[in-house]
Amino acid sequence: MNNAEIEQISREIETAFLGRRFGKVFPLSKSSMAIDFYPHNAVYLFVDFDPKNRKTYLIRRRLKVLERSAVHSSPFVIRMRKLLSGRELGAVLNDQDAKVLRLELAPSDQPDELLSLVIQLGGQTPNICIIDSRQNIVAAARDAKDGAVGQKYIVPVEADRADEKIRDLNRRSLSDVLDDESRSSNAENYFQSLAAAARKKINGEIAKQRKLIKNLEGDLAAHGNADDWKRYGDLILANISNIRRDGHSFIVTDFFDPEQPEIAIRIDRNDSPSEAATGFFKRYAKARNGAAAIAKRLETVGKDIEKLDIQKAKLEAAIAAADEDAVSEFLPVKQPEALAGKRKDRADGFKGARKFISSDGLEILVGKKAKDNDFLTFRIAKSLDLWLHAADYPGSHVVVRNPTRKEIPTRTLIEAAQLAAFYSDARDTPKAAVNYTQKKFINKPRRSAPGLVSLSGFKTILVEPSVPTASRS
């Protein structure tokens, strides 16, 4: 802000707050705050003394918005409230050519007990401080060398202001123009940070998959050529009667070559011909099987990278269109840290459940004892998790975790039901009925025994009791 703009802002402050009492202070960051004056009129004085963003003007905000945006009060903010609360604004002074505003405040019944709130936007170190009638600093947001508490306040010297101009306001207040610019800048900065985070996430996933391809290719190279290992094993056996040892090699006739030259096959020093041949055949089998498995894995990873490339193109299109909602979809929804930590600790520390992973990759928890069943159902499970129990038989509570909050796949439902039937007294029956519902429909009757619940709604599935292909976690 230049001096011409600060002069305009001083007149707007005077019009809005003159004769009003200093009220609440809302710290919005380490260097910015909003100050209310009573009687309240939904207008606040905004101050930012960050060296890169120094400015002050009036803002219009809802009280609840400021309360939600406020951060912890600094010692200076606490001191400012104590010194200035209830004081009446008597004058707004602008120190010419210094980019400094002084708000003179005094108790309404003792006008001589003057304190001034000094908003210093000029100089090398912008600051906000409180000075008394003798110009001594009694409190300061930033304890600078030339503005420490207890020292005389010295007005900073600014450069010549000959070229300063106030912008075209188009019949608007300067405060409204500055606030709109600030909001627009903040929104743009937020969007760019959102876009950068989304790019980082998807680029990280692509890099992870490419690294996996590199590792798989390294594993494939380490296996060697399967055909070579088989060929060496066959040649050793074909030359078993006339094979010669030369240090770490066997000298054999290469019957696979039309000219049948002698070649050296490198071996472990103490291997006999039959041991060496067996070793080559094992390496052949391992290389052949490994190559097949790695090829399949490479195909899967390649498809995953293609999908990620498509997602990246969609992200770049959303960024180009400045679509904040679309960009946000590429980032995980953050759970409040305290709640997330509490949930994690509770689940990780619980030892009263068997853990399985379904064919669809979902976690299935099976309670062990009656008290474990209660804890699993009412302390671990969330409202949209799937809950199962063998119908008409005592048994374990079974919970399918549903972190995506989507419908549980049918295959996972069947596998969880098989586990519920197997870990119940219906284990030895050919078929067993299993009740299932979402956890939110499960209730605990008062004074009921551990493990006993009531269901407000459920469905039933008929399955064979077993531990299915779902893998033990």
- Distance between CA atoms of residues 356 and 471, nearest Å: 6
List pLDDT tens digits, range 432-450. 999 999 998 898 888 788 8
List pLDDT tens digits, range 351-405. 889 999 998 889 999 999 988 999 999 999 998 999 999 998 999 999 999 988 8
- Distance between CA atoms of residues 422 and 372, nearest Å: 17
Share of the chain above pLDDT 90, in %: 54
Give the pLDDT score at 179. 82
pLDDT-derived band of residue 330, with 50, 70 and 90 as boundaries?
Answer: confident
pTM of the model: 0.49
Give the pLDDT score at 57. 93
3-state secondary structure of 116: strand
List pLDDT tens digits, range 148-198. 788 888 888 765 555 556 666 667 788 888 888 888 887 888 888 889 999
**Residue 473 token pair:** 């976690």
pLDDT exceeds 50 at position 337 = no
- Distance between CA atoms of residues 221 and 129, nearest Å: 70
- Distance between CA atoms of residues 134 and 152, nearest Å: 8
DSSP strand E in 299-427: where? 353-357, 363-367, 386-390, 398-400
